[in-house]
Structures are given as C-alpha cells and as structure tokens.
Chain A
Amino acid sequence: MRKADIVSAGVVAVFGLIVLLVVIPIWVPGHMEGGSYGLRAQDFPLVTAVSFTLFAGAFMVFRAFFSKADETDEPPITARSWRFLAIAGGVLAAITVLLDTVRFLAGGPVAVGAFMVMMGERRPLPVIALSLAAPLAVWLFFWKFLEFPLP
C-alpha cells in the first residue's frame, strides 16, 4: 500500500494545485460583493483546496521518506483492476450515451443485459427475459404510475 499511498497522495496534491492555480482563479469570482467584511465567494473553496493539497502533499512526503517499505507491497489496484475499470467505465459511458440518444426503453435493456453478462450470466433466455422485463417495469412504475419523466 505504501507505493499506492505515495502515488495517490501525489495525484491528489497535483489535482489540488490545478484547482488552486487554474480552476478557482478562472471559475470563482474573487471580488467582494456587498459589505466590506465577511468571506468572498473564493475564500472557502480556497481554504479547503489549500487544506487537502497540503494534507496530501505532507502525506506523500511522509510515506515516501519517513515510513518503512512494506515487504509485501502489493498494489491495491493491479493492471487487471485498471483493465476492469476501463471496461466498466466504457460500459457505463455507453449506457449513458444510449439513454441520451435512444431513450430509456431502448437503452435500459442494453444496460441490464450488459451487466448480466458482466456478472457471468451466459444463458440467453434469462438475459433476454430480464433485460426486457426490468426496464419495462421501471418505466411503467416511474412514467405511468408516478408520472415522472425518464430519459
């Protein structure tokens, strides 16, 4: 976990620096509205961003220089995990695009079917049956019964 801690804390610290140097100056107004004292819109985001950047930086330095290397320093996220995350992220992104373009009744079955296959179901009948039944039931419940719009 030591290496993972160093890398992850480093990533958080870099993210914090980007937030402090780029995001906040551009996307949060720095001038004071109204009265002459109190907090500017920028102040609280700045304080929190500085805090997590400092904590992450200090943690990275501590883990890198002041803590012993673990003999069995296995990475908590292996190459296999990253591959899985890429696949899962791709599937979730595809479902999002499908729901946006072909709408819920057409995208829902793909979502259910994809996750059933990812979870190891290979028999076509259960995959097709649940893929059709679940989105239809959810759609009927939200759209027809509760009258809430779905994508």
Chain B
Amino acid sequence: MDFQTIITGFASSLTLVNLVFICFGVLIGIVVGAIPGLNGPMAIAICVPLTFVLDPLTAIAFLIGINKGANYGGSVSAILINVPGAAEAMATTFDGYPLARLGKGLKALKMSLYASVWGDTFSDLVLILVAAPFAIMALKMGPSELFAVLLFALTFIAALVGSSATKGIIAAIAGVFLSTVGLDPEASTPRMTFGQLDLEEGVPLLALIVGMLALSEILIQIEEGWRARHAKTPEQRVSVFDAKGDDRRVTWPEFRSCLRTIFRSSIIGTVIGALPGLGSTLAGFLGYGAAKRASKTPDEFGKGKLEGVAAAEAANSAVVGANLIPTLSLGIPGNLSAAILLGALIIHGVQPGPMIFESHGHLIYGIFGAMLVANFANLFIGQAGLRVFAYIISLPNRYIHPVIVLMCFAGTYLTTQSMLAIGIMVGFALLGYIMRKLDYSIVAFIIAFIMGPMTEDALRQTMVLFGDQPGELLTRPITMVFFALTAYSLWRFIVGRKPQILAEPN
C-alpha cells in the first residue's frame, strides 16, 4: 500500500460530513452509555439501518463514534448512581461513587473522561501501527492456516465469554450452523431456506443482532421491573452541582499524579483488547487491580481515590481500539461491538479479512482517522455536556425503551424490506431471553454467526487445495500448532476450571 493511500485515507475522515457524523455518533453513544440498561453494542445495532444512505466511511465513522461515546458514557451512571451504564464500567464504581458522595462527582466524571480518552487514543495508535503488519503476516497464510486460526479464535472466544465454557462452545457452534442457512457459497444451492426466497441471502444479520441484543435485553429489564415494582430501593443519586472550587475540576497536579496509572492501564487494556474474547470488563478490573498493587496507599482505594477511577477507565477504554486489531487484520472480531462493526462493513459491501488493507486501504485509513477524531469529539462533547448527561441518567426507562422497541422494528424491516425479517427478529428476541437466563452466551453465538461464512470458505479452500487428503495437513506446521492450541483450549476450559474474572457478562 502506498503512502498516498494512507494520507488520503486519513484526510477523508476530516470532511465536514464525516466530522458531523462522528460528533453525532459520540453524542448518541454517551447518552446511550449513560443510561443504565442500554449499552454501546445495542446502540450500534439499532443505528446500523440509519447508515444505509451513507457511504461506507461515514457510516463506520458514525458507528465508531457511538462505540467510543458509549464506552465513556457508562462511567457517568457508575459514578453518579453507583450503577454502571455498561458492564465495563463496573470497576469505575469502586472509587467513582465514593468520590461523588464526597461531593467530588464532577471531578470524578472529568478524570474518567480524560483517562478514557487517553486510553482510547493510546490503543488507537497501537492499532494503526500494528494492524497492517498483522494483515501482511495473515496474507502469507494459506487457507488451511486461516481455517486453523479461525477455529482457534472461535474456541477461545466461545470458552471465555459467558460463565460456562461448554455452554459458550455449544452456543458458538450453533451460531456457525445458523450461518450456513442461505445459498451455498460455491454452487449457490439453497440450504435450509424452506422455500423462502428471503432466506436465500441467509438469516438477516441485523434481525439476529437486534433481536438477541436489544429486544431480549429490554424483555429482561421489563421482567425485572415487574418483580421490583413493589420493592422500594433507596435513592442513591448524587448531585454534581453542589461541588465547589477544586472539587469541580481535575487540577494539573492531580492529573500528573495519575499519569503513570493511566499509562499502565492503557497498556493493560490494549493487550487485553488485542486478544479476542477478553473484554473491557476484565481490562477495567485488571487495570484497577494493578493500580492498587502499585500504589503506596492501597488502603485508600475503594474509598474515593481519583487514581482508581483513572485506572479503571483508561483500561476499559483502551480495549476499544485494540479490539479492531484482530477484527481488521484477520476478520476475527474481538468483542461484540467489533462483531457488529464487522457486520456493518459486510452490509456496506466490504469483505473483512487480511485482504482488506489491499482492497479497501483508503477506507481503512479513513476509519483510523475517524477513530482519532472520535477521541477528540469524545473529549469536547463529554466535557461540554457533563451536566446534561448527569440529568439524562434520571430519565425513566418506560419512556426510552418503547421508542427503542419501535426503532428495532423499523430498522429491521429496512434491511430486507420483508416482514419475515421482523418475524426472525422477534424469534431471536425470545431465544435471546431464554439463552441469557440459561447462561448460554449470546455474545459467542453472534460472533460465531458472523465468523461462520469465513470459516466455511477457509475449510472449502483447504479441502480443494489438499484434494480431500486431510493427511496433507500434517505438512503444515502453523496449521498443526493452531489445531493443537484449539484442542488445548477445549481441554483447559472445559475440563479445567475457568478463572471467574474471565467471565464476561452477556
């Protein structure tokens, strides 16, 4: 790829339209992230249909804006009402809420914003530096190596997300199986379409994601609301407007004292993010734990220490950019947001995988530029709108969720313009509800559904290449190494016990 492609790619992210959509995305993201019960992946999935009229770069830039905004937004409710807007902000509550109770809510929110933007920018820079070399390495792999890597990644992700490795693997294989519905990629013979023309292009991706992710979550929340209606919970909300003087801002000495922690957490988050299946929740906990261990005053953690907020937020935000390393270079989504972004790329006609840097170099570097711009947008919008976001978290869900349900129906219809897609969405909403209750990971299911066609393609090419002689695989050392790693992960996670901290909530 030539230097000019890189420069023009970056420059294309700076057009007025892209800047407006990035800022709009960040704003939506922060608002959605701040409202407990709503989260980034849900918002991205619902907003994908809005991008159909946009060109691929503007569309992905908008969705990335939502992702980044939501990641920070989760900390607003974590700090002010002790309820993380999303699971990744869980570690932020440890010191964020005590700070808010001490009248330093604004200070905590600002430190959370600065640490979040810093961690995010750090991991974006790592992504920009390493994604292309990774893709070049991936290009040197043959189909058998790619198949082995995909198989390993699927096993790894399935075993790590959710609380049961076996159930995660069952969900993942079911996801791959479901991806085979539609026309066979080689001979275009229909598979399990049941005579429905609308199913020839496969199960609509958006219907599946919106149903499982957004609608099933709303169903769970409605049911919880029914149960808790009579149980009075004490008001935990803390006002940010009572703060005075230095309690309203982060002073330079305070920020400087947290710099080492922020940097350490950024590295932790980036490493965690680059490994598929390990999510931002784990990064937040590890970043927080590392800061506590390294501190000279570990006893102050959990009682309102600014460093604790910085550690958790820098770590969980650093996952966002690094997650795109395997996503863009190998086509393996690191987490749910990355999987939906990958799905959005496919919907916009961009085939992910190692060739993406060759075939869509301009777009990829445009996306990188948009990611950096989104960080600045996050900083400015987050700073300017702190008070507004603090109000938004008090909006009752009974006004927000019905509108989201309506958006789910409208957005799903737009993808195929058939009522069958809506029926499929409703079906997956009910299935998602049952899977969540029974602890079958919907994250593994969705990621595997998206990775399924790529895995099948790689297997098909391998079989053709080796002329149906599986023994030929023994001559491929990289393939054998990844097969061995797959077998080891299966044994390790199913027979051995998985550390509890690795379990990512659905």
Contact = CB atoms under 8 A, between A and B. Distances in A.
A34 B186 contact: yes
Contacts of B409: 95-96, 99, 108, 111, 151
Contacts of B464: 35, 37-38
Q: Chain A contact residues: over half helix, strand or loop, or mixed?
A: helix
Contacts of A121: 398-399
Contacts of B229: 120
Contact of B189 (A24, A33, A55, A138): A33
A142 B414 contact: yes
Contacts of A42: 191
Say which size band chain A's interface belongs to.
Answer: 35 or more
Contacts of A96: 409, 419, 422-423, 426
B173 A135 contact: no
Nearest to B414: A148
B91 interface: no
Interface string A22-63: 011001110001110111011011001101100110010000
A59 B167 contact: yes
Nearest to B417: A149
B194 A27 contact: yes
Contact of B402 (A9, A19, A56, A116): A116
Interface string B190-207: 111110000000000000
Pick from A8, A34, A35, A93 the residue with the most CB of B within 10 Å.
A8
Contacts of A34: 186-187
A1 interface: yes
A45 B191 contact: yes
Contacts of B180: 44-45, 48
A118 B223 CA distance: 9
Contacts of B402: 111-113, 115-116, 119, 130, 134
B429 to A, nearest CB: 7
Contacts of B52: 146, 148
B222 interface: yes
Contact of A77 (B167, B193, B422, B438): B438
Nearest to A7: B438
A37 B419 CA distance: 39
A99 B422 contact: yes
Interface stretch (B2-10, B352-360, B455-463): B455-463
Contacts of A84: 219, 222-223, 226
A24 B192 CA distance: 7
Given A23-B192, A115-B401, A138-B407, A151 B419 contact: yes
B430 A38 contact: no
A89 B422 CA distance: 13
Nearest to A135: B406
Contacts of B419: 96, 99-100, 151
Given A44-B456, A52-B174, A38 B225 contact: no
B170 A119 contact: no
A116 B407 CA distance: 15
B403 A112 contact: yes
B453 to A, nearest CB: 10
Given A52-B170, A93-B426, A37 B403 contact: no
Given A38-B468, A45-B180, A85-B433, A51 B173 contact: yes
B388 interface: no
B467 interface: yes
Contact of A38 (B186, B219, B410): B186
A44 B438 CA distance: 27
A44 B173 CA distance: 11
Contact of A120 (B50, B176, B398): B398
Contacts of B215: 92
B177 interface: yes
Contacts of A19: 177
Pick from A44, A51, A142 the residue with the most CB of B within 10 Å.
A44
A86 B130 CA distance: 49
A35 B252 CA distance: 70
15 contacts: A24-B192, A34-B186, A38-B460, A39-B459, A55-B166, A59-B167, A85-B434, A88-B219, A88-B222, A92-B215, A92-B426, A96-B426, A111-B409, A115-B405, A142-B414
Q: Which 3 A-B pairs have the closest CB atoms?
A: A33-B187, A115-B402, A119-B398
Given A88-B430, A134-B403, 7 more contacts: A19-B177, A38-B464, A41-B191, A115-B218, A115-B401, A116-B402, A150-B414
